[in-house]
Structure 1
Amino acid sequence: MLKRILTVTIFLVAILAFGCPLFYPVNYANTVVRAESGPDLTVQMITSSPETPTFGDDVTFTATISNQGTAASGQCYVAYYIDDEYIDDEYVPPIDAGSSTEFTFIWAAEAGIHDITVVVDYKEQVNESDEGNNEKTYTLSTLGADLIIDSITWSPSDPNVGSTVIFNVTIRNRGAVVANSNRVDFYIDGISRGYKDVERIDPGGTLTKTFSWFAKAGEHDIKAIVDKNNSVPETDEDNNEMTVLFSALLPDLIIDDISWSPTEPSLSDNVSFTVTVTNQGSGVSGNSTINFYVDDTYLDTERTSKLEAGASENVTFSWIVVVGTHDIKATVTPHAVVTESDETNNEKIVTFSPSLADLIVQNITWSG
């Protein structure tokens, strides 16, 4: 008996000294039998109820935790995350090898698409054969409204400076549920021009609100924002505005011609000058002012009526002819009373000379 004990002791010492394993795989009819590998906890499945919640619904998540190892697990904890934010954890009792246990938690649904992550043994209390398979992520889309500015149009489509423009702002709900009442804000060049209340809009429905403005010269940013204060829960809160570029048609007034009558006046004649003003722009001009000068000395002023694009109008001035060559100048809107597409072509100068007598000694005779 003593000899047997001594033999076993020497055998165990030899194993420990040379690092030999206690058990080897044994192949029985091509079946490999190994020593126990330990527990292996995994999150097998995550489900939600309801599967497609709407904003504000209480969603119940069920996580199935399995032990796919060969030994029972010890106690641990499971943690819940939504969009990588910790929500809660829960105690997990020991799970036998090959068994599963379900755990649930409840979340009030928020708008948008969310990642729900469950991590078992997140405190790493259980020594597992595989530590890299302890979590699972489930993607959930919450049904909700989705308000957008569908279009911004105006009437007339080619407005003139100073005309009243009606802007039509169309709002669309491209979400899956009704969008409750809210409002749409309207801006021109970053300055608020007021807002309009927006009634409920069904999924896929549209609603149009109007704003008016007196068109000004130049280019302008027209912007509309729906649900600016986020009173409506939406699946996408970043697509609520639109900006478009607006410009009014502008006139371009020129002095097209300066003529006079009589065409060959003499000294002291009262000459009538005709100034032709033409609008060569694309928009209607307002009333404009024509100033008349002789040798840069102001003489008189006349006014024209509104001119359509391409239209002309004549105004007249009178002047008593004096000796010499003179510069006759006419200017239109010298103080920018009318905003134009070109402000550098508003004057014209012509040279004027009266007809003068030319006395000569034609003949000399005598008698005697």
Structure 2
Amino acid sequence: MNINIHHVVLSLGVLLQAACSRSSSSARLSSTPPGNYDLVAASVDMMPATVRVGDSITGEHIIRNAGRDIIPGGTHTVHFYLDGKLVSFDHATGARQPGTFSKYGCSPGHEYMKATKPGRIAYRLVVDEENNVPETDETNNEIKGEIEVIP
């Protein structure tokens, strides 16, 4: 599994390319002032749609701020796991404006992992895993699913 992959971040209409390990694997989060915040793990789209043994697995995932206030930068993390292993993360998060989204995904030529055998691979996207941001809804910070790998 390749952990030092790259991802693309689309935030507020600006396309940024960054390494998945934007900072150290242990996050140092800033405190979050009171506000109306709601970080949402909005979607996960894995590619290719049909995964066969030998395929490179990539994808994209979207995080959004459904709250009414700006979520300050450096107050939360974004983690993406495959089979329990952290394969993509953002520990240098920027401020998130209300109603906006950030799209993360692999840069061309990079992968989350290579499918090596048939079966299922679990994925999990979680934002604010440390619960550092007090939110109006703490139940929408995670998406779980599976990818089926066929021979």
Q: Structure 1-normalised TM-score?
A: 0.28
Gaps of 5+ in 1: 1-54, 57-142, 251-368
Quick one: distance in 2 between partners of 1:241 and 1:149? 5
Paired-residue identity, % = 28
Quick one: distance in 2 between partners of 1:224 and 1:166? 14
Quick one: distance in 1 between partners of 2:95 and 2:39? 11
- Which of 140, 148, 163 aligns to 2:55? It is 163
Matched, 1:187 2:81: yes
2:12 corresponding residue in structure 1: none
Count of matched residue pairs = 110
- Which of 134, 140, 146 aligns to 1:239? It is 140
Q: Is the 1:196–1:209 Cα contact (8 Å) retained in structure 2? A: no
Quick one: distance in 2 between partners of 1:199 and 1:160? 36
Matched, 1:176 2:68: yes
Deviation at 1:153, TM superposition (A): 0.5
Deviation at 1:194, TM superposition (A): 4.2
Higher relative contact order structure (alpha carbons within 8 Å, sequence separation ≥ 6):
2
Q: Is the 1:180–1:232 Cα contact (8 Å) retained in structure 2? A: no
1:199 corresponding residue in structure 2: 94
Could you report, residue by residue, the CA deviation over 1:251-294 in whole angstroms, capped at 9, with x for unpaired residues?
xxxxxxxxxxxxxxxxxxxxxxxxxxxxxxxxxxxxxxxxxxxx
Q: Is the 1:148–1:226 Cα contact (8 Å) retained in structure 2? A: yes
Matched, 1:154 2:55: no
Q: Is the 2:41–2:64 Cα contact (8 Å) retained in structure 1? A: yes
Runs of at least 4 residues of structure 1 off by over 6 A? Answer: none
Q: Is the 1:187–1:223 Cα contact (8 Å) retained in structure 2? A: yes
Deviation at 1:178, TM superposition (A): 1.3
Mapping for residues 106-121 of structure 1, pairs under 5 Å: none
**Secondary structure, counterpart of 1:224 in structure 2:** strand
Q: Is the 2:121–2:149 Cα contact (8 Å) retained in structure 1? A: no
Q: Is the 1:152–1:169 Cα contact (8 Å) retained in structure 2? A: yes
Quick one: distance in 2 between partners of 1:194 and 1:170? 13
- Which of 101, 104, 113 aligns to 1:209? It is 104
User: Which one has the bigger helix percentage?
Assistant: 1
Residue type matched to 1:202 in 2? Q
Could you report, residue by residue, the CA deviation over 1:1-32 in whole angstroms, capped at 9, with x for unpaired residues?
xxxxxxxxxxxxxxxxxxxxxxxxxxxxxxxx
Could you report, residue by residue, the CA deviation over 1:139-174 in whole angstroms, capped at 9, with x for unpaired residues?
xxxx51101111110222222212211121110111
Quick one: distance in 1 between partners of 2:104 and 2:132? 18
Residue type matched to 1:228 in 2? E
Residue type matched to 1:193 in 2? V
Q: Is the 1:220–1:246 Cα contact (8 Å) retained in structure 2? A: yes
Mapping for residues 327-366 of structure 1, pairs under 5 Å: none
2:20 corresponding residue in structure 1: none
Residue type matched to 1:148 in 2? V
Deviation at 1:227, TM superposition (A): 0.9
Could you report, residue by residue, the CA deviation over 1:217-257 in whole angstroms, capped at 9, with x for unpaired residues?
2112110110111232321223211101111232xxxxxxx
Quick one: distance in 2 between partners of 1:194 and 1:209? 9
Quick one: distance in 1 between partners of 2:103 and 2:135? 20
2:123 corresponding residue in structure 1: 222
Q: Is the 1:169–1:209 Cα contact (8 Å) retained in structure 2? A: yes
Quick one: distance in 1 between partners of 2:147 and 2:90? 21
Residue type matched to 1:213 in 2? M
Quick one: distance in 2 between partners of 1:213 and 1:180? 32
Could you report, residue by residue, the CA deviation over 1:38-73 in whole angstroms, capped at 9, with x for unpaired residues?
xxxxxxxxxxxxxxxxx63xxxxxxxxxxxxxxxxx
Residue type matched to 1:195 in 2? F
**Root-mean-square deviation (CA), in Å?**
1.9
